[in-house]
Amino acid sequence: MKHLPLFFDLAGRRLVVVGEGPAADRRADLARSAGADVVRIAAEGAQAGDFRGAVAAFVATGDLDRDTAVQRLAKAAGVPVNVADRPALCDFILPAIVDRDGIVVAISTGGASPTLATILRGRIEAALPERLGALARLAAAFRAQVNALISDPARRRAFWRRLVDGPAARLALAGDEAGARRVALGDLDAARRAMAPVGIAHIVGAGPGDPDLLTLRAAQLLQEADAILHDELVPAVLLARARRDAEMIAVGKRKGSAGWAQADIERELVRRVRAGQTVVRLKAGDPFIFGRGGEEVDALRAAGLPVSIVPGVTAALGCAASAGIPLTHRRLSSAVTFVSGHGADGREASWPSLAAGLGERGDHTLAIYMGASEAAAVRDRLLNSGASAATPVAIVENGTRADERVSTGRLGDLARLAAAHTARPDAGPSLIIVGDVAALAAVASSPPLAKVS
């Protein structure tokens, strides 16, 4: 190891930056962010006395002779110095830094390749949660209590491991710091009494099907889950991204086939979380868009159990984008409505108000979920409510997936178009898009759009 990584407390300490321009500005800003008392000096005006009492100096004049002269002044004053882009003149080097609200990662190549350090920083930033500082604050808040209440070193280590990589951590990283503290208190009490702590449920959106559209947080949770309760519409290629030893439970159902009742799913979630498991409830699309995720959150909260929500790319957005259809368009559509024909307790959408934006001067888009098998009824409701039979429509089956199929036409012919998507035994989930923007799918298909995946 050529350089020893050290973290100095610069709060209130004098630090000198010599030079002008972007390199000097970046170093000054970085030092200020650490609390240093930054003194800026022009390259031509640097004198030996400027460095007296300084903890360190940055030099970035851009000229080798000036850099060398200023470096000698700093060295003569006994001040360690860093000279931008001149490793041979440096007492210390400036690493690439990832700062997550107090959690700091420094990457150094020993001055060999700043570009490589920058690339590595980008990869580390992508892997670290944005709210990591909240997790550090949670650990700091419990340190004294843990040391006082858990005397056995092995149990204490087990508590800390669970705190920073368990249910409380997930709530903190999701922004629920109050919930994280409640769970941590429960874990502390369980550890003190040598009891098994409860687990946590994550209600996770799987997106429309393309595994590359899975959110980073969802992918992380799939690797942490003890059990995954998934919909039938979640494809196998996406489930393959889960931890290999995770228990897979298919709890969804397709229309017309038997499956788990919603109350049974909620009871299973509660049972597993109470048993201490980390459970992912994986839903196609987004759990809060016709996914009944709200009901499952209510059940878990009513049981006093920790739960987090991870949104996903909903089918309307993913399928429309994959088919080249903008749901809103400056010239064609100023609003979009997500509609389902299968409401709870027989409730239906207000079709007259929806159809009002689909006339000759319509500027509205409808994204209709679970409507392909009832295309004739959807067509009739819209036409009877005043929509124009000439309104463009598109049907996107298996949107964003490799076997995506798109049909376009007019509202008056919706039932015939849908039949081509529902007649096959292997038919996938379909989304109906109604409105002038649907006509753009045909335009987008020549030449074909590059797929996201």
Q: Which residues contact 12 (CB under 8 A, 6 or more apart)?
A: 35, 36, 37
Coil vs helix vs strand at 146: helix
Q: Using CA atoms, how far apart are residues 204 and 183, in angstroms rounded to an integer?
A: 20
> Among the options 67, 176, 187, 231, which is catalytic?
231
Q: Using CA atoms, how far apart are residues 19 and 28, in angstroms rounded to an integer?
A: 10
Q: Using CA atoms, how far apart are residues 142 and 386, in angstroms rounded to an integer?
A: 63
Q: Using CA atoms, how far apart are residues 420 and 370, in angstroms rounded to an integer?
A: 15
Q: Is 231 a catalytic residue?
A: yes
HEC sequence for 12-72? CCEEEEECCCHHHHHHHHHHHHCCCEEEEECHHHCCHHHHCCCCEEEECCCCHHHHHHHHH
Token pair listed for 398: 């298996």
> Among the options 25, 91, 99, 253, which is catalytic?
253
For the four alpha carbons of 130, 136, 137 and 139, in that order, the dihedral sign comes to: positive
Q: Which residues contact 420 (CB under 8 A, 6 or more apart)?
A: 407
Q: Which whole-number Å values give the CA distances from 30 to 15, 56, 120, 127, 316, in the listed order? A: 11, 13, 19, 22, 43
Strands 364-369 and 335-340: parallel
Which residues are the active-site residues?
A: 231, 253
